[in-house]
Amino acid sequence: MKKISKYMMIFNGLLIGSLLCSCTGNFEKWNINPDEATEDEMKQDNLNTGAYFSQMERGVFIVGKDLGGEYQITEALEGDLFASYFATITTWGYTTYNNDHYALYQGWYNAPFNDAYEKIMQPWKSIYDATDATSPARAMATIVKVFGMHRITDMYGPIPYSKFGTAVKIPYDSQKDVYYKFFEELGEAIRVLTEYASTNSSAYLADYDNVYSGNVSKWIKFANTLRLRLAMRISNVDESKAKTEASAAINNDYGLMAVATDDAILHQSTSLTFRHPLWEIGTSWDDEHMSATMDCYLNGYSDPRISSYFQPTAKNGDYRGARNGMARPNKDSYKDVTSRPNFLQNSDMNWMHAAEAYFLMAEAKLRWNIGTETAQSYYETGIRTSFASAKVSGADSYITNTENLPKGNYVDPTNNRSTDVSGMLSMLPVAWDSHASMDTNLERIMIQKWIALYPDGQEAWSEMRRSGYPGWVRISSYNYQSEVSSNEMISRLKFPTTEYSNNSENTNAAASLLGGGDTAGTRLWWDVKR
């Protein structure tokens, strides 16, 4: 009983320690003294690394008791809106114009950055300090770190990364340098886990891993798929490096995520329970519902995944979306005639679907002829795998459909006002066309990838910026507070005001790395095509 009490003290100390720190302050508090616990007790059952690892997993997509609001300002009011997965159907009293209008609200755009350093980087540093270079715990934690932090650099651009943990005020790395560090770290993590798996069949950190229960082979597949994701992200700006990293990921002996059971999902368990934040945001609070863009694609294609992704409207039983960027929407007018996200209170948290691997391979095949199958085969398998993850049928007839197109006419469900949006969308059928140009088939891949990535709006937004596809229904009202030109997509989040206050010299230097100023309209290093 004494040992259990000590372990609880240690675990609580780890969590409290993370809350006391920030990216640029309280550096001396990162290493928490567990008081009564001995070093041997810390090492027993990997507690000295396992508790931090669990903390990292909960920090990528923020989950926990009463944390729906934190998820909202780090995900749902950022990438989920910018990718046009959801639209806000409410008005906040403290801000007339906000992220849904591309007028960034500082209380929201500060949050993803600050939370990532508290909930991902700090526990990773604790694991790093407690392990050596051969440790599977360090390797797994590094994979989670790269997964979490690539989302942050893809929001902001340059970030403090390679020098984290070496100073109180941390310099920023250019986005190119951050990506190169990601590839280095993933390569080393894959090597360490491969070596472990070659002599051990047992799970690692099984009691603390709520994604794969310590299955090392699945972690390697996940890391390979993440490596391929990052390789394709830089394909338009650094093709040689992209091709090298893509080849390494695809040709690795463990391969990529391949079937729905490979999906990376943060599972609820006896040790981890939470209210799914999209249930809170979409159903309990009615703040964000289906977007007009989702409405047009899913209804236009008669996509069976619509019933997996969204709920029928409360009033009419159909699937309808709201347009992003509405001026002061009235929640009572929209909540029963637009579709809520289809998540239960106790749903698990999606991280990455195996379907993405096939869309990535389809693009790699188109670009560089990498892989053993055709681009069409990868594309179609990606759709089938997405259907399997969504637990819906009908993939074969969907894949061969040459007639259905996205709806080119959006109708506001509150007043039946019709808007022609056909010129904004990617008006292509689902069926592959072997006679089409490479760019047309790339657009086709990106449409289906965008649908399959749901509900990860951050990744979908990154791919829309990177590729220019798919087309989306433009926000209904650009305004003077926006730094984004009319009919353009928002490019990034601004650096947090807290960084300008606490780390001003380094933050100003980072702004100069952007090349266009610290604005929402400045494109990131890899955003060169659209």
Burial 72-102 (b: 16+ CB within 10 A, else e): bbbbbbbbbbbbbbbbbbbeeeebebbbbbb
Nearest to 151 by CA among 525, 466, 461: 461
Residue 96, φ and ψ in degrees, nearest 5: -70, -50
Point out which residues pair with 266 in neighbouring strands: 349
**Single pTM value for the model:** 0.92
| 269 secondary structure, DSSP code | B
Strand 264-266 with 418-420, pairing? unpaired
Provide the percentage of residues in the chain whose pLDDT is more than 90: 85
Say what the pLDDT of residue 17 is. 43
Dist CA 127 CA 208 (whole Å):
13
Q: Other C-beta atoms within 10 Å of 194: how many?
A: 17
Write the single-letter amino acid at 409.
N
pLDDT tens, position by position, 225-267: 999 999 999 999 999 999 999 999 999 999 999 999 999 999 9
Say what the pLDDT of residue 41 is. 52
Dist CA 60 CA 56 (whole Å):
7
CATH class, 52-280+343-513 region: mainly alpha
Say what the pLDDT of residue 47 is. 77
Say what the pLDDT of residue 288 is. 98
Say what the pLDDT of residue 42 is. 53
Say what the pLDDT of residue 328 is. 82
Q: Other C-beta atoms within 10 Å of 20: how many?
A: 13
Where would I find the beta strands (DSSP E) of 267-405? 288-290, 349-352
Dist CA 7 CA 42 (whole Å):
8
- How close are the terminal C-alpha atoms of the chain, in Å? 61
Dist CA 283 CA 136 (whole Å):
40
Dist CA 83 CA 75 (whole Å):
11
Total residue length of the chain = 530
pLDDT mean for each 10 residues of the chain (530 residues): 36 43 40 48 71 98 94 97 98 84 92 98 98 98 99 99 94 99 99 97 95 98 99 99 99 98 97 96 98 99 99 99 92 98 98 99 98 98 99 99 98 97 99 98 99 99 99 86 88 98 98 96 96
Dist CA 426 CA 442 (whole Å):
11
Q: What is the residue extent of each domain of the chain? A: 52-280+343-513
Secondary structure element (H or E) that encloses residue 419, with its range: strand 418-420
DSSP string, 17-73: HHHH-BTTB-GGGSS---TT--HHHHHGGGHHHHHHHHHHHHHHTT-STT-HHHHII
Say what the pLDDT of residue 44 is. 57
Say what the pLDDT of residue 95 is. 76
